[in-house]
Amino acid sequence: MADLTTDAQIKAILESPEHKESLLYLINKLPELTDALQMLEDKTAFVRHVLSDKSSLSALADEAEDKWNSLQLSGEHASAILALTHKLPLLVESLEKAEEAASFVKQVVTDKQSLAYLAGSLKELPLVQEGTDILAETNLRYRNEQPYSKISIMRIFKLLKNPALVSGFRYFETLLEVVHKHAKNNKGA
Amino acid sequence: MDFTHHAKVAIIGAGSAGVSIAARLIRSAPHLKDQIVIIDPSSKHYYQPLWTLVGGGAAKLEDSVREQADFIPDGVNWIQDAVTEIRPDDNRLLTRSSGAIAYDYLVVAAGLQIYWDKVPGLKESIGKNGVCSNYSPEYVQSTWDNIRNFKGGTAIFTQPSTQVKCGGAPQKIMYLADDYFRKSGVRAKSRVVFASGLPNIFAVKRYADTLDQVVERKKIDTKFRVELIGIDGEGRKATFQNLDTKETLSLHYDMIHVTPPMGPFPFIASSPLADKDGWVDVDKHTLQHNKYPNVFGAGDCSNLPTSKTGAAIRKQAPTVAANLLSLMNGKEPKAHYDGYTSCPLVTGYNKLVLAEFDYDKNPAESFPIDQSQERVSMYLMKRNLLPIMYWNGMLRGLM
């Protein structure tokens, strides 16, 4: 049997305008609240059914395990992932630099004016320039020479004394010696 | 005036600094697409470091110029106009004919102004009567014409006491001219004079030592602390004033290469952004404005106490871009510029001293060789590689 004092207190509270208003609101919202409760009940029931469906859970677990095993991951991999995570800031910095370098190369090779400038610059390099000058002068003198002028023995001897030719002969001689030595070593092996 | 534009970031100037910073911003924060505007009236973009070699006949002027439009980064809007007024208290810019621009953040990278008219007689004589200058695409060819047609006499090379773009450039052209005079056989009957408003040949001792030797070897007559104050083109007379004694001195010349006085643009000097000398007043490490935190400055227009060079801008641009993005994300600007600058001092055809140093004039050299020596390799790098790196690396925000 309820305590009379408590009943009176509840009655007094329910008669207050604020509580009357709240009750009215709840009664108005009752259909929506019921729907929400029903939905929650359905979800809970679904989870309960799934958890009790051992064959489905077992299939899922087997599939996940198979995939995990196929990765052949070991403790070393876990350590490597940790190490990699630690190095990520440095790696990102390096990757950014590599990306910038690749973008720069791409810019250069697609920039026709820069390529033309580089090609022009190469021709003006001192060594290339010197080589070009020598060839140009050689071609000019060769063209101006008498086409059928005789080549005497004396002329050949004179040519053989030319320091450039002597140096060339010596280089060729050394080259033959090195080739011979390597061929001999290969046979021995 | 009606506000016709609104930009998250407005950049004044599409020179080396403006374009590099825009490229870096859009690369690092693609979400800023179409929210960055760059304001510059010029339709051409010049690689000015090549002009020393153009004036010396070792490079072509056309290799130093490209279309500006080709270097405005994708996603950045270019307003081809000139800024006439900066109102940082209202976050507004006024332009000559495109109305006003309201901005959230501002980067001032306008470069500097050449004041041809500050030397009486210079404007009237430039390009004729033996008067030439490398400091304009219009006149740079006249330098080479004067050098190759020089038949002997007095050749004067000047440097003003004002700040100039690349402080070493006024003497580089002199060394090339001296080299050419020797090749053409007129050096023995010539006097080469270097008349500079500065107290020495170079501010960093390590490189000054080498340059003093070059000057001695080439038998160049140096006059320091003298300012060019007048040119009489027809009479071929240059007047200088000693900056210490105030005495004047007139010299006859057969050719004179003038490095004109330079200074800040009036629209910057008259704005609240300027320091007492008219340059954009920024923190020398973060490049953030000292009074307006949403404003940054870079390049020749800033009051950074370092030599005004493209190489300095190469290091300033990433600092501005990083600090601006930090500020947008509510973080402190932490990127730090140490005053790095570089001056490839051409000392002749195929010879160069690559000076690199910081705010404290400490060498900050890039290569594991003694860069204070004259080297062919460094000349080849300046002549052949640096332009490629500029067009394809620096302006694209890649280096």
pLDDT at A51 over 70: yes
Nearest CA-CA distance, residue A123 and chain B, Å? 11
Among the listed ranges A45-59, A125-139, B190-204, which one has the minimum average pLDDT value?
Answer: A125-139
Instruction: Kindly list the catalytic residues of B.
Output: 166, 343
Q: Is B63 on the interface with A (CB under 8 A)?
A: yes
pLDDT at B87 over 70: yes
Residue A3 banded pLDDT, cuts 50, 70, 90:
low
The pLDDT value given to residue A1: 47
Residue A187 banded pLDDT, cuts 50, 70, 90:
low
- B55, B349 in Cβ contact below 8 A? no
Q: Which residues pair with B231 in a beta bridge?
A: B238
pLDDT at B265 over 80: yes
In the predicted model, what is the mean pLDDT of residues A56-66? 87
When CB atoms are compared, the residue of A114, A122, A125 closest to B388 is A114
The pLDDT value given to residue B198: 96
Residue B306 banded pLDDT, cuts 50, 70, 90:
very high
In the predicted model, what is the mean pLDDT of residues B29-53? 96
pLDDT at A87 over 50: yes
Looking at per-residue pLDDT, the higher value among A47 and B340 belongs to: B340
Angstrom distance (rounded) from CA A43 to CA A36: 11
The pLDDT value given to residue B332: 94
The pLDDT value given to residue A66: 87
Q: Is A117 on the interface with B (CB under 8 A)?
A: yes
Euclidean distance between the first and the last CA atom of chain A, given in angstroms as a whole number: 112
In the predicted model, what is the mean pLDDT of residues B291-308? 97
In the predicted model, what is the mean pLDDT of residues B142-166? 96
In the predicted model, what is the mean pLDDT of residues B156-170? 95
The pLDDT value given to residue B341: 96
State the alpha helices, DSSP H only, in chain A.
4-14, 17-52, 54-70, 75-110, 112-124, 126-144, 153-160, 163-188
Tokens representing residue B173 in the block? 């052209």
Percent of chain B past pLDDT 90, that is, above it, reads: 96
DSSP B245: T
Angstrom distance (rounded) from CA B357 to CA B359: 7
Angstrom distance (rounded) from CA B325 to CA B303: 22
pLDDT at A171 over 70: yes
In the predicted model, what is the mean pLDDT of residues A14-37? 88
- Determine if residue B135 is left, alpha or beta; phi over 0 gives left, psi from -120 to 50 gives alpha, anything else beta: alpha
Domains of chain B: residue spans and CATH: 3-112+264-339 (3.50.50.60), 115-262 (3.50.50.60)
In the predicted model, what is the mean pLDDT of residues B131-148? 96
Query: Which residue in chain B has the smallest CA separation from A123?
Result: B384
Q: Which amino acid is at A73?
A: L
pLDDT at B241 over 70: yes
Percent of chain A past pLDDT 70, that is, above it, reads: 94
The pLDDT value given to residue A68: 83
Looking at per-residue pLDDT, the higher value among B82 and A9 belongs to: B82
Q: Is A114 in contact with B392 (Cβ distance < 8 A)? A: yes
Residue B375 banded pLDDT, cuts 50, 70, 90:
very high
pLDDT, one tens digit per residue, over B124-137 is 999 999 999 999 99
The pLDDT value given to residue A4: 58
Task: Give B396's contacts in chain A (Cβ within 8 Å).
Answer: 103-104, 107
Beta-strand (E) ranges in B153-278?
Answer: 153-159, 190-196, 221-223, 226-232, 237-242, 248-252, 255-257, 262-263
3-state SS, residue A95: helix
pLDDT at A11 over 80: yes
pLDDT, one tens digit per residue, over B268-290 is 999 999 999 999 999 999 999 99
Residue B366 banded pLDDT, cuts 50, 70, 90:
very high
Looking at per-residue pLDDT, the higher value among A135 and B161 belongs to: B161
pLDDT at A149 over 80: no
The pLDDT value given to residue A188: 57
pLDDT at A137 over 70: yes
Task: Give A92's contacts in chain B (Cβ within 8 Å).
Answer: none
Q: Which amino acid is at A27?
A: I
Angstrom distance (rounded) from CA B51 to CA B142: 11
How much is the mean pLDDT over chain B?
Answer: 96
Tokens representing residue B247 in the block? 């005495």
Q: Best interface-test mutation with B: which of A104, A105, A106, A115 has the largest number of B CBs within 10 A?
A: A104
Question: How many helices, marked H, and strands, marked E, lie in chain B?
Answer: 10, 21
In chain A, where are the structural domains located?
9-70, 152-189
Q: Is A128 on the interface with B (CB under 8 A)?
A: no
